[in-house]
Structure 1
């Protein structure tokens, strides 16, 4: 076990805690249903110097029928979905700090209205219009 955790101070760190509950077994009780429960918890270490994500710092590039989201922030950003002309595309993915995520969509045109929705630190939905980097 770690006595002192060493995490980067310039970005968030994602940690996972997995807890598995396995029932005891007794050979003489063969007509029982055994259920194994696995709980997975997501934790973030956020250095004191970081406050909260600014979703305006995300950049977008169009690559054919794909949108590349560039995360220029020190935060993990959870993408919920994209809406293109009122049609919703579920994404449910996370972009790690200073990395990018490419999302395939159906045909995208220059005059389409595109909105990206993200899940905030408190579980709320934040929607932002998508404008492509030129």
Structure 2
């Protein structure tokens, strides 16, 4: 049996892109941490990971869309906004895809893999009030009791996307059917709890990713249960 360790050599500098509406373009650095050249294809989608790049229409142009990076070298990828009208009262989200195609291996009995990375691209209108971190701090939390089940309801009243990565109740990792996820502007997410006997007050700690890729932590207390018929 032949086994071979594989890993992606192409890495992006940063975990997210914030595109301000008053800018015509922004950029991201892509590095080849390996020793051999790689071919890289890039495209932006609206969230459908299965859709072919040739069938996607987005208000951005990438330059260059396909390029080669030699080992231990870098490439600056430019993201240019084409001016398509987007909502001006909230952020819009897109996804930047980076597909790494390694060089052909002429050896027999080897497997070759392509690697695809995706990071969030937030288009942020210049007119939005306050700061993005306020969206994290001002989430509204409530405990619901519905059909003999408990739910945590998370309401985002801000114009910013909030990416939750961890929720704890009384210093324990929250048991839910749905993992913490991104809460879109002016929407709410509801997480079902597996615990059947929950009392208040309920102390919650949650963590979310900020603009810089760091973690913002917030603690709150829920003092009542909303019963839904």
In the alignment, is residue 39 of structure 1 matched against residue 117 of structure 2? yes
1:3-14 aligned at under 5 Å gives the runs 3-14=82-93
Greater radius of gyration (CA)? 2
Contact 2:98/2:116 (<8 A) preserved = yes
* Equivalent residue number for residue 62 of structure 1: 143
In the alignment, is residue 125 of structure 1 matched against residue 203 of structure 2? no
Matched length: 133
Correspondent of 2:98 among 9, 19, 41: 19
| TM-score w.r.t. length of structure 1 | 0.81
| TM-score w.r.t. length of structure 2 | 0.50
Between 1 and 2, higher relative CO (CA 8 Å, sep ≥ 6) is seen in 1
TM superposition shift of 1:60: 1.8
Residues 14, 113 of structure 1: alpha-carbon distance in 2 compared, 3 angstrom cutoff: same
Deviations 1:89-133 (A, max 9, x none): 274410001111112222431123222222222222221314368
Contact 1:115/1:129 (<8 A) preserved = yes
* Equivalent residue number for residue 87 of structure 1: 172
Contact 1:59/1:132 (<8 A) preserved = no
Cα distance between partner residues in 1 of 2:220 and 2:142: 13
Residues 24, 118 of structure 1: alpha-carbon distance in 2 compared, 3 angstrom cutoff: closer
Tell me how large the CA RMSD over aligned residues is.
2.5
Secondary structure at the aligned position of 2:89 is classed as coil
TM superposition shift of 1:40: 0.9
* Equivalent residue number for residue 116 of structure 1: 206
List gaps (5 residues or longer) in structure 2. 1-56, 60-81
